[in-house]
Homo-oligomer: A and B are copies of this chain.
Amino acid sequence: MTELRKDPIVGRWVIISTERAKRPHEFPPDRTERKEGICPLCPGSERMTPPEILAFRPSGTANDSSWTIRVVPNKFPALRIEGDLGKAGDGVYDRMNGIGAHEVVVETSRHDVDLFDLPERQIEDVFRAYRARVLDLKNDKRFKSVIIFKNHGSAAGASLTHSHSQLIALPVVPKRVIEEMSGCRDYFRFRDRCIFCDIVVQEMEQKVRIVEESGDFLAYTPYAPRFPFETWIVPTRHQCAFEMIDDDQIRTLAAIFRRTLRRLNLALENPPFNFIVHSAAFQMGAAEYFHWHIEIMPKLTKVAGFEWGSGFYINPTPPEEAAKFLRELPE
């Protein structure tokens, strides 16, 4: 069983694996990409994963090899779906059972391509799969938020090379989401407008940080990015949660998202990166004040003691220069 524990000072939750605890010698100093042998995410390996939760296939039956996208429970989940929360205290400390959902979205049946190599139509299906899974997980009243993310490349935390992303549903609203939602709510209370809507207006006027604009969505480098070439994609019309996206928006998003990832890949020569869908937590009445978006973070610099101690980041590339570079790349 895993356990959720809360830092009593800053309120940060951590997931502690008590079940398969790692001993010191199990942390290799130079861990590299896992040797894969038979890839568990390839067609033909369906029995190497838990039974599928969702799949897109032109024809065929569940768990056969004819799928184009497949969502399965993570075989080594950070959190488990069964059980009660078992909230409890221990002196100054707080804990609960490690309940949650941890799913893997296999973005393609092909082992040798990356997400941004896929045709737009396939990337639309990836977003449809995310939407379907969030809408389903939202029905489980134990869950308060879902994080959708991708780790690409070993330096960004990927352990399998077959292109995939992940969803984790959590029984608490995580600190990072609370911070973001509180920040947006404070701004809304002060100005009676959504901060992201204001940012979209300002970026469209100033034009110095825009990577691409395509009607429904804006790709831009944020004013205060943590990382060089960090790029955000935001819907231009107000919408608080990713799962509210409609099919028209999915088509525009897939196109701009694909082009943005391709720009980053071309500019930075296949960098490791993470992307995270930032969406409103459930049951927080965020309709007016929050605005979902995707944050793409290439991992070119290292997070060191100063960043850990301060929460400051040192970024050697101004976002205006990064945006200009990305904007002017040949298609």
Contact = CB atoms under 8 A, between A and B. Distances in A.
Interface of A: 3, 5-18, 20-25, 27, 29, 78, 90-93, 147-151, 154-158, 166, 168, 170, 174-177, 179-180, 183-184, 187, 195-196, 198-199, 202, 206, 222-226, 228-229, 267-271, 274-278, 295, 297, 300-306, 308-319, 321, 325
27 contacts: A8-B199, A8-B224, A9-B187, A16-B319, A17-B315, A18-B318, A22-B316, A23-B321, A24-B229, A90-B223, A92-B198, A147-B310, A149-B306, A155-B302, A157-B303, A174-B309, A174-B310, A174-B312, A175-B310, A175-B311, A176-B309, A177-B309, A177-B310, A179-B311, A274-B304, A295-B309, A297-B308
Contacts of A151: 304-305
A278 B23 CA distance: 28
What is the count of identical protomers in the complex? 2
Nearest to A150: B305
Contacts of A90: 223
Nearest to A20: B316
B8 A93 contact: no
B14 A316 contact: no
Contact of A275 (B5, B16, B24, B305): B305
